Chain A
Amino acid sequence: MDWQALEISLKLALLTCASLLPIGLLLSYILSRTQFIGRGLCEAIITLPLVLPPTVLGFFLLVSLDQDSFIGGAFVSLTGENLAFSFTGLWLASIIYSLPFAVQPMLRSFEQIAPELREMAWCSGLSKWKTFFKIELPLAWPGIITAMVLTFSHTLGEFGVVLMIGGNIAGETRTLSIAIYDSVLAFEHEQAQMMSLTLLAIALVTISIVYTFNRRQRHLMRL
């Protein structure tokens, strides 16, 4: 069992969740509440990582994180660190490839909230912020939880992109899924099995927690 890889995987998944919670909320809220030209394109770009082959995404990310590129170069001059093949780069990439998994469920749940409830809140004297925190956020909660779990599981399981832009550097970018691949190649089938079962268990537990939670929530509010 490669504990280091498990730790990196969990750290990456949790950090990605923590980053995508505000990013996803902001994007999905804006998308659900405003109409503007290019909204469709905007939604398409966010959904793109869902349909792109990991290799294509990995290639673009690799090119853009490279120290010769704008982003990669700026990061190097800012921090002295390289983005490509670093944990930070992997984190950044995870935010991008998990973006649709975070935004889509949140967007759907915001869209499902009847506009009257918002207006009713305003007419009841609630400011827009209070309306968001007391009405919209609680009502979108199941979608937000789903988004976080999908982000978590997807980040935990991503392989192609991680291999392309993270390489396979122990203690830095070797996630559990890469470690599994590596141990299969090294004929360490027992290890591979252990790690695969671990990933399976984590995925199963998180997803069942969400389903149970969402069902209870839905039952409570009969939404």
Chain B
Amino acid sequence: MLEVSLLDERQPALSVEFNCASGELLALVGPSGAGKSTVLRCIAGLHKPERGHIRINQSDWFNSDDKINRIPQQRRVGFVFQNYALFPHLTVAENIKLAQSNTQEDKLTASLLSKVRLTGLEKRYPHQLSGGQQQRVAIARALARNPDVLLLDEPFSAVDKVTRRKLYLELNSLRHDLAMPIVLVTHDLDEAAMLADTMVVIYRGKTLQQGTPSQLLHQPDTVSVAKLVDVRNLFKGKVVKEGKELQLHWENKQLTLSDRIDYHQQTVNWTISPSKVILHQRVRPSRGEQENPVSGQIVELMTLRGITTVLLSVNDAKNVIIQMDVSEHVAIRNDLKKGDAITVSLIADSIHLMPS
């Protein structure tokens, strides 16, 4: 278990709090300059924060109260830098061996190389490798110390898109063999959502929310988190109790809310995930469609890898656009075209409220 709690009022300011269990992959996400890399550098001992603690399996690496601050050499981290920082004058095998505690152990080198599928390239120099191969060497080198924690700083930003997708799969299969906490820093939300068990949103040095990718992406705690995770369909409304029923007043419409919600008589921010917006089938109307129907006109239609994104301009409201993601075949079956009038349902259970 990695426990991190950091506070720094100097520049770069930090107010960071998160935990990462062994075997868990935690993604630290946020815009560039948010202090993601600084947090990793703190964990590695390359940057000393003002206050706080960094604890790994109950042992302190940094603790400002007890004046503990171990140097990087004493921390046993496996660190993969953004540009990999491979030693250019050393071969692949030498790069890995350098980080081994027993530099004589050729077996370990060989097993690390096969783990990252680089067997046969031992004698190559870094400049003779492709970007993807370089990343694998960096990962193998990071693992060579048998680290207590693995730190990955934007490890996919230096390779092209095709390679990146391949590397995602590789990391995903590799990480299940690893027992230590893994912290991945990235500004790419999709990347984080795809690879991580847990996501932590960080902005201006401050961690805002920790949760599963689906929690963060669909149920952000605050509007700031919602904006940082690039939530679509972010609207303002008012919660009103009508008899027994809770309603959301929004753009002259009354949407039914499920009863677990407790924002009575309050102005709120609310959101609904585009994939949870339900299209009323034109040809075969079905049950449940009576729940929170909203009509509008299709203003934009885009299809990418099997998902069709539909932008709907809501009737009787000015400049209100709802985004809906449907499978491509649904779009085809319903013959959706730009300019078409359609109706969708915003199911009560899918509406997520946030304080304003």
A122 adjacent to B98 (CB under 8 Å)? no
A120 adjacent to B79 (CB under 8 Å)? yes
In the assembled complex, which residues on chain A have CB atoms less than 8 Å from the CB atom of B46? 119, 122-123
Judge if B159 is at the interface, Cβ distance under 8 Å: no
In the assembled complex, which residues on chain A have CB atoms less than 8 Å from the CB atom of B89? 138-139, 220-221
Cα distance A124–B46 in the bound complex, in angstroms: 12
In the assembled complex, which residues on chain A have CB atoms less than 8 Å from the CB atom of B45? 122-123
Cα distance A76–B145 in the bound complex, in angstroms: 57
Q: Which of A116, A120, A126 has the most C-beta atoms of chain B within 10 angstroms of its own C-beta?
A: A120
Cα distance A139–B127 in the bound complex, in angstroms: 14
The interface-forming segment of B69-77, B254-262, B346-354 is B69-77
Cα distance A145–B177 in the bound complex, in angstroms: 46
B79 adjacent to A123 (CB under 8 Å)? yes
Question: Chain B interface: which size bin?
Answer: 20 to 34
Cα distance A100–B178 in the bound complex, in angstroms: 52
B125 adjacent to A125 (CB under 8 Å)? no
Inter-chain residue pair count (beta carbon < 8 A): 58
In the assembled complex, which residues on chain A have CB atoms less than 8 Å from the CB atom of B88? 139, 221-223
B145 adjacent to A125 (CB under 8 Å)? yes
Cα distance A120–B86 in the bound complex, in angstroms: 8
Choose among A116, A123, A139, A220 the residue that contacts B125 (Cβ–Cβ < 8 A).
A220
Cα distance A222–B125 in the bound complex, in angstroms: 9
Distance to closest chain A CB from B82 (angstroms)? 8
The DSSP consensus for interface residues of chain A is helix
Nearest B residue to A141, CB-CB: B89
Judge if B101 is at the interface, Cβ distance under 8 Å: yes
Distance to closest chain B CB from A134 (angstroms)? 7
* Interface 0/1 of A110-149, CB less than 8 Å to B: 0000101101111111110000001100110000000000
Interface positions, chain B 39-58, Cβ under 8 Å from A, are 44-46
* Interface 0/1 of A150-187, CB less than 8 Å to B: 00000000000000000000000000000000000000
Cα distance A134–B89 in the bound complex, in angstroms: 10
Q: Which 3 A-B pairs have the closest CB atoms?
A: A124-B99, A222-B127, A122-B72
18 pairs, A vs B, C-beta closer than 8 Å: A114-B85, A116-B81, A117-B87, A120-B85, A121-B98, A122-B46, A122-B72, A122-B73, A123-B72, A123-B77, A124-B99, A125-B99, A125-B101, A138-B89, A139-B89, A221-B127, A222-B88, A223-B88
